[in-house]
Amino acid sequence: MKILAIETSCDETAVAILEVKGGAKAPKFKVLSHALHSQVKIHEQYGGVFPGLAKREHQINLVPLFLKAIKVNPKSESRNPKQTSNIKIKKIEKVLERETELLTRFPALYGKKRPKIDRIAVTTGPGLEPALWVGINFARALSILWDIPVAPVNHMRGHFLAPLAEGKKIEFPALGLLISGGHTELAVAKSPMSYKLLGATRDDAAGEAYDKVARILGLPYPGGPQIAALAEKSRKLKVESRKEFILPRPMIHTKEVEFSFSGLKTAVLYMVQKVESRKLKVEREIIAMEFEESVKDVLVAKTKIALQKTSVKTLIIGGGVSANTYIKSALLKLAKEYGVEFLASSKKLATDNAIMIGVAGYYAKTRPLGMIKAEGNLPL
Ligand code: KG4
Ligand code: ZN
């Protein structure tokens, strides 16, 4: 089976083509192509993702990325719209004018025979709805143009199942710690199709906390890698922390599988203000190290509770923050203590991408086009 996957839920536009062999019991995923465009440079000035801009950027970049993924060179083929099939254009016009406009800008698509694709997997949530609709409308238009069914995909399931794209096997039931810019969740999957949420963050997500703390420290967006680098430097140099830099570990002593990172960010803000008011130097390296230590401690404590509450065979970590080597190694250690398999993706697959959407799309059901809708708060 060949899957065309489309991701536009946040600030990454991505298209992938996956080939799946081996049947439903033991599928093997092969990435045939992956084209990704990150909008980080554009959102940098806002210190976070600005939805209207994200939508515009997805609209600009989706079709060129798609052509790259299906290996059509728009310049090498006819650009004369008259040579394209009117019937097909009419059909698409019915779906959406904007998408028609996008597609007619690339007449190469019409000349092209229907590619050998069995389904289109598109992220329908959670995420920014204006951004999600860009991918959804495009998937719908392609579905009509080429008569290919569409499977709506939950972005968080994509993060959960991402290790499958790198040849790893998941032994179920599996506990997933999903730590991204928009979400922080612990969930158990009985199978790739069945999930139960154990708990989530009450306010900010872990990645969001990284981004906000980075902003307080005057570091560019996205803050995760920036803070991680500073913290790593301090640990390497064995920089001693001091009393005035100790940060709270929000909710660490509660029994609930729940997180709260908003207070941690505020604690950093007050700390910086206090240091500045005394005309002292803001020691960013120490703050970054302390902040990362706090996030790590809380993530480990809550994952530990979840492991005690469940009897899983595997611990999977996914989402942008799972690219953090310090946090990753702390969770690997925890998995070893509990005798469960540990799975994490490479950096490329930990942050947003279309490959993981293709993997989750393999397990998702195809639906009538009218049912493929953006759901900003889609639960796992
Ligand atoms: O999963 P993702 O790419 O997008 C969402 O679905 O939100 O996650 C992005 C988040 C950002 O907040 C970014 O700062 C964070 O992941 N991130 C990191 C690291 N790399 C990315 N956080 C900590 N350490 C990293 N190395
Ligand atoms: Zn994500």
Is residue 126 within 6 Å of ligand 1 at its C-beta? no
**pLDDT over threshold 60, residue 74:** no
Is residue 323 within 6 Å of ligand 1 at its C-beta? yes
Average pLDDT over residues 349-353: 97
CB 321 within 8 A of CB 180: yes
User: Which comes out higher in pLDDT, residue 283 or 257?
Assistant: 257
Q: pLDDT value at position 107?
A: 57
**pLDDT per position as a tens digit, 109-131:** 655 566 789 999 999 999 999 99
Mutate which of 351, 352, 355, 357 for ligand 1 pocket (most atoms within 8 A of beta carbon): 351
Is residue 223 within 6 Å of ligand 1 at its C-beta? yes
**pLDDT per position as a tens digit, 210-244:** 999 999 999 998 999 999 999 999 999 888 878 88
**pLDDT over threshold 70, residue 143:** yes
Q: Residue 42: exposed, middle, or buried by beta-carbon count in 10 A (0-12, 13-18, 19+)?
A: middle
Q: Indicate the range of 55-69, 288-302, 305-319 predicted with least confidence.
A: 55-69
Q: What is the atom index within ligand 1 of the atom nearest the CA of 222?
A: 14
Q: Residue 354: exposed, middle, or buried by beta-carbon count in 10 A (0-12, 13-18, 19+)?
A: buried
Is residue 211 within 6 Å of ligand 1 at its C-beta? yes
Tell which residue, 355, 313, 366, has the closest CA to residue 164: 355
Percent of the chain clearing pLDDT 90 (strictly above)? 74
Mutate which of 179, 180, 293 for ligand 1 pocket (most atoms within 8 A of beta carbon): 180
Percent of the chain clearing pLDDT 70 (strictly above)? 89
Q: What is the atom index within ligand 1 of the atom nearest the CA of 182?
A: 7
Mutate which of 215, 321, 326, 355 for ligand 1 pocket (most atoms within 8 A of beta carbon): 321
Average pLDDT over residues 253-272: 96
Q: pLDDT value at position 79?
A: 42
Report which bound ligand comes closest to the CA of 128.
1
**pLDDT per position as a tens digit, 27-52:** 999 999 999 999 988 888 877 788 89
Tell which residue, 50, 53, 47, has the closest CA to residue 221: 47
**pLDDT over threshold 60, residue 88:** no
Pairing of strands 174-179, 314-318: parallel
**pLDDT over threshold 90, residue 91:** no
Is residue 358 within 6 Å of ligand 1 at its C-beta? no
Is residue 182 within 6 Å of ligand 1 at its C-beta? yes
**DSSP states of 209-266:** HHHHHHHHTTPPSSHHHHHHHHHHHHHHTTPPP-GGG----TTTTSSSS-B--HHHHH
Is residue 225 within 6 Å of ligand 1 at its C-beta? yes
Q: Whose CA is nearest to atom 3 of ligand 1?
A: 351
Q: pLDDT value at position 352?
A: 97
Beta bridge partners of 341: 314
In this prediction, residue 259 has a pLDDT band, given cuts at 50, 70 and 90, of very high
Q: pLDDT value at position 85?
A: 40
User: Which comes out higher in pLDDT, residue 105 or 274?
Assistant: 274
Q: Whose CA is nearest to atom 8 of ligand 1?
A: 320
Q: Whose CA is nearest to atom 18 of ligand 1?
A: 224
Average pLDDT over residues 97-109: 58
H-only helix segments in the chain? 40-43, 51-69, 86-95, 97-104, 108-111, 129-146, 155-161, 206-216, 223-236, 262-277, 284-309, 325-337, 347-350, 355-363
Is residue 224 within 6 Å of ligand 1 at its C-beta? yes
187-190, Cβ contacts within 8 angstroms, sequence gap of 24 or more: 187/156, 187/160, 187/380, 188/306, 188/310, 188/312, 189/160
pTM as predicted: 0.91
Q: On the CB side of 44, how many CA atoms lie within 13 Å of its CA? A: 9
Q: pLDDT value at position 50?
A: 86
Q: pLDDT value at position 98?
A: 60
The answer for residues whose C-beta is within 8 angstroms of residue 168's C-beta and 6 or more apart is: 343
Is residue 135 within 6 Å of ligand 1 at its C-beta? no
